A and B are shown apart, each in its own frame.
Chain A
Amino acid sequence: GESVGLHLPTLSVQEGDNSIINCAYSNSASDYFIWYKQESGKGPQFIIDIRSNMDKRQGQRVTVLLNKTVKHLSLQIAATQPGDSAVYFCAEKAAGNKLTFGGGTRVLVKP
């Protein structure tokens, strides 16, 4: 399944640089926030999540920051690699495991 195409915001980043992808969410009652990566022809793939009572969580080369005051979420990718080229979605989880997705950001890694 191809990702959402022409209307996506795009982040172009040089290989080896850090990437920052931003997301605004709407539901103050959401208890988890999740970042997904979607490569062309594939379904969204879980990257990292963060609980609403945290403001930072780190994974392997990725860090998620949560600012509940302004309802803002960001994903930082360290030392971006060609394999990081994809569309990235944030999602918020409210009651009942229901996930609501943002519009997505396309990341293009330049060699």
Chain B
Amino acid sequence: DAGVIQSPRHEVTEMGQEVTLRCKPISGHDYLFWYRQTMMRGLELLIYFNNNVPIDDSGMPEDRFSAKMPNASFSTLKIQPSEPRDSAVYFCASSSQGGTGAFFGQGTRLTVV
């Protein structure tokens, strides 16, 4: 398996623009997580899904953030409109029921100017 695949690896956008981050989890995993990593706040859980259903979105910072999982092999995290304070590395991770750890993708480095 290729592991968790995220795209793009890097994204630079202007304030106010819409940004969409993509994730393909490991095949067979039924949990998918979106994390954000910054120097100030470390690794924060934004939202996670189980069997494509959002379970906990309490970490989503604002209504500007939304996430979807239309099927077991694809998820998106959208920010609209983007702001400079959204600049961070966004990670997607997946795990299986009964599995103890989550496997992370390489992350998307987002810069909003």
Contact = CB atoms under 8 A, between A and B. Distances in A.
Interface of A: 1-7, 32, 34, 36, 41-46, 49, 51, 89, 91, 93, 96-104
Consensus secondary structure, chain B interface? strand
A103 B42 contact: yes
Contacts of B108: 1
A104 B42 contact: yes
B50 A96 contact: yes
25 contacts: A1-B91, A4-B37, A5-B39, A32-B100, A32-B101, A34-B101, A42-B107, A43-B91, A43-B93, A43-B106, A44-B91, A44-B104, A46-B103, A49-B101, A93-B100, A96-B48, A96-B55, A96-B56, A98-B56, A99-B93, A100-B45, A101-B45, A102-B42, A103-B42, A104-B42
B97 interface: yes
A100 B38 CA distance: 15
A49 B95 CA distance: 14
Interface residues of B, number: 31
A44 B50 CA distance: 21
B99 interface: yes
Contacts of B104: 43-45
B25 interface: no
Interface of B: 4, 31, 33, 35, 37-40, 42-43, 45, 48, 50, 55-56, 89, 91, 93, 95, 97, 99-109
Given A32-B100, A93-B101, A103-B42, 13 more contacts: A1-B89, A1-B108, A4-B42, A7-B39, A43-B91, A43-B107, A91-B101, A96-B50, A97-B31, A97-B95, A98-B45, A99-B33, A101-B35
Given A43-B107, A99-B45, A103-B42, A1 B37 contact: yes
